[in-house]
Amino acid sequence: MFKEFREFVMRGNVMDLAVGIVIGAAFGKIVSSLVDDVLMPVVGRLLGHIDFSNLFVALGEGTFKTIAEAKAAGVATLNYGKFVNTIIEFLIVAFAIFLVVKWVNALRRPAPAAAPATKDCPFCATAIPIAAKKCPHCTSGL
């Protein structure tokens, strides 16, 4: 049973999947940091010093300045700012994956066929250079 398990794990597609998941998780952290630490502060500044990660609606009594204050008071919150951040993260990841797939597909595309260097003479059916004005075999004018 251990031998079968080892063979299963060592198959190429299982290892590729494992590597893809690990790299995907790391890439997700990079994108999260890009959105939370780089993009959203700039967008918030441009929109009048808005902190998207702290936009919420308290679903209970009281007014709170931060999500942490509302949570500490035991009030449920609707965190729509975090949802906006998550949507932006998704769009960045989707665009990055699109670019990678597009790049891989371009690498797989076969090279275009070279233009033919010869053509057939319509009179004797012999292969002659494309630029020929007269067939060297039957001397017909082309």
Measured in whole angstroms, how far is the alpha carbon of residue 78 from the centre of its chain? Answer: 30
pLDDT digits (tens, 9 = 90+) for 127-136: 888 888 888 8
- In order, the DSSP letters of 19-44 are HHHHHHHHHHHHHHHIIIIIIHHHHH
Q: How far is 136 from 142, CA to CA, in rounded Å? A: 11
pLDDT digits (tens, 9 = 90+) for 45-86: 888 877 788 889 999 888 998 899 999 999 999 999 889 888
- The predicted model scores a pTM of 0.57
